[in-house]
Amino acid sequence: MSRQFSVAVAGCTGAVGVEMLKVLEERNFPISKLKLLASARSAGKKMKFRGEDIVVEELTHDSFKGVDIALFSAGGSISKEFRQSVVDAGAIMIDNSSAFRMDDDVPLVVPEVNPEDVKKHKGVIANPNCSTIIMLVAVAPLHKAFGLKRLVASTYQATSGAGAKGMEEMLVQTRQVLNEEPIAPNVFAHRIAFNLIPHIDVFTENGYTKEELKMLNETRKMLHDDSIKVSCTCVRVPVMRAHSESLNLEFKTKVTPEMAREVLAKAAGVTLKDDPAAKVYPMPVDASGQGNVFVGRIRQDISRDDECGLDIFVAGDQVLKGAALNAVQIAELVAAL
Ligand SMILES: NC(=O)c1ccc[n+]([C@@H]2O[C@H](COP(=O)([O-])OP(=O)(O)OC[C@H]3O[C@@H](n4cnc5c(N)ncnc54)[C@H](OP(=O)(O)O)[C@@H]3O)[C@@H](O)[C@H]2O)c1
């Protein structure tokens, strides 16, 4: 019989945690025992896995005895607090937060992009930022074929990117606007219903937000190329689920839309949605619940005199491929080590 793993999910009641359980079940991950962990608020609650009720336990430093793989999605401060306990227990931590992504001893992995980096782990593997994952599933195969020089991205990020509370805030505010009731923003800096907010994570000294700089730094780390230039504007939009991105790409060699389509049609994790005449292009409602990243609107960049630029549009479910699915795919790579 092939090896079975004792798995813990920390943050099991959250937007990402709930999806992790579904993905573990759907992909039939070889689990001998599943431990569900969340805050004291959720302890005692029951969640279903493979038809069985599992009782949620409070996350403590003793939670990881006998655990082989610990999937974390409870926020960066929780990951930092429990990292040592996970490693001391001999488990491998796969972390969804931004806590360790840029650490030299922590591989940052998208299985379709840099699966071999998993081998370098020293007890912790990080899941990249959700917008970066969605972008790189589409961009990495083009980079491999044509050599990416520079990338300019604008994102359209769903409210679920801020967790279960983010989705709830959009729904509550939408009702409040329709009922002409007063609105008090809480999760987001401003009203999100019937609005958009060009502000995700905190601002840094150079005027970019941390979210925007994650897309630069994580791209360079995963493509192993510090010469790639990246500039981003990250925007929260009143979409429930799935992030979209407009990407302007500059390559070292000439590339036509046909050449790009040929590469992307064969790329793992990509679904081409590129038939504008039939009104087929990537949209968040279609990408929601899908593991693949949708790519379309592939055009030659007409602002250039050479043929080295492309514009593309992507949409991907950031709770799934941007978090839960990517983490479980990493666990599959770990299981195969
Ligand atoms: N949402 C996304 O699209 C997305 C994408 C990529 C990465 N991530 C990352 O994934 C992590 C979770 O995000 P989310 O969107 O799933 O958030 P969420 O919906 O707010 O869920 C947070 C989870 O963390 C648990 N938690 C909070 N405080 C805790 C504590 N003191 N001890 C133990 N558990 C605690 C919560 O348990 P209770 O229910 O008991 O409070 C809940 O299970 C974050 O690091 C986030 O940056 C999210």
List per-residue pLDDT tens for the chain, 337 residues long.
589 999 999 999 999 999 999 999 999 999 999 999 999 999 999 999 999 999 999 999 999 999 999 999 999 999 999 999 999 999 999 999 999 999 999 999 999 999 999 999 999 999 999 999 999 999 999 999 999 999 999 999 999 999 989 999 999 999 999 999 999 999 999 999 999 999 999 999 999 999 999 999 999 999 999 999 999 999 999 999 999 999 999 999 999 999 999 999 999 999 999 999 999 999 999 999 999 999 999 999 999 999 999 999 999 999 999 999 999 999 999 999 9
CA 74 to CA 219: how far, in whole Å? 24
> Residue 145 is part of a domain; what is its CATH number?
3.30.360.10
111: CATH: 3.40.50.720
User: Which atom from ligand 1 is nearest to the alpha carbon of 74?
Assistant: 24
Among protein residues, the one whose CA lies closest to atom 30 of ligand 1: 39
pLDDT of residue 202: 97
Angle between helix 164-178 and 15-26 (nearest 10): 120
Say yes or no: 177 and 224 in one domain. Answer: yes
Q: How far apart are CA 32 and CA 46, in angstroms?
A: 19
Asked if residue 302 and residue 168 are part of one domain, the reply reads yes
Model's pTM, two decimal places? 0.96
On whether both 114 and 262 belong to a single domain, the answer is no
279 and 159 in a single domain? The answer is yes
Task: Give ligand 1 pocket residues (Cβ under 6 A).
Answer: 11-17, 38-39, 41-42, 59, 73-76, 78, 96-97, 130, 160-161, 163-165, 318-319, 322-323
Q: Do 161 and 273 belong together in one domain?
A: yes
- Give me ligand 1 centre to Cα 18, in Å: 10
Measured CA to CA in angstroms, residue 241 lies from 193, 256, 265, 333 at distances of: 14, 31, 25, 27
Q: Cα of 113 to ligand 1 centre, how many Å?
A: 25
Are 152 and 291 in the same domain? yes
For the CA of 18, the closest atom of ligand 1 is 16
H/E element, 335: helix 325-335
- Among 82, 96, 325, which is best to mutate for testing ligand 1, by the most ligand atoms less than 8 A from CB? 96
Residues 255 and 282 in one domain: yes
- Does residue 203 sit in the same domain as residue 266? yes
Residues 145, 150, 154, 157, Cα dihedral to 10°: 60
Task: Please tell me the distance from the alpha carbon of residue 187 to that of residue 155, in angstroms, as a whole number.
Answer: 19
Q: Which residues make Cβ contacts (< 8 Å) with residue 103, sequence separation at least 6? A: 124, 126
Q: How many domains does the chain have?
A: 2
Predicted local confidence at residue 111, as pLDDT: 98
Beta carbons of 305 and 2 less than 8 angstroms apart: no
According to the model, what pLDDT value does residue 1 have? 55
Claim to verify: residue 123 and residue 70 sit in the same structural domain = yes
**Do 312 and 188 fall within a single domain?**
yes
- Based on the fold, state whether residues 163 and 262 are members of the same structural domain: yes
Instruction: Give, for ligand 1, the residue of 12, 13, 16 to mutate: max count of ligand atoms closer than 8 Å to Cβ.
Output: 16
Structural domain span for residue 47: 5-127+323-335
| Whether residue 100 is found in the same domain as residue 39 | yes
3-state secondary structure of 74: coil
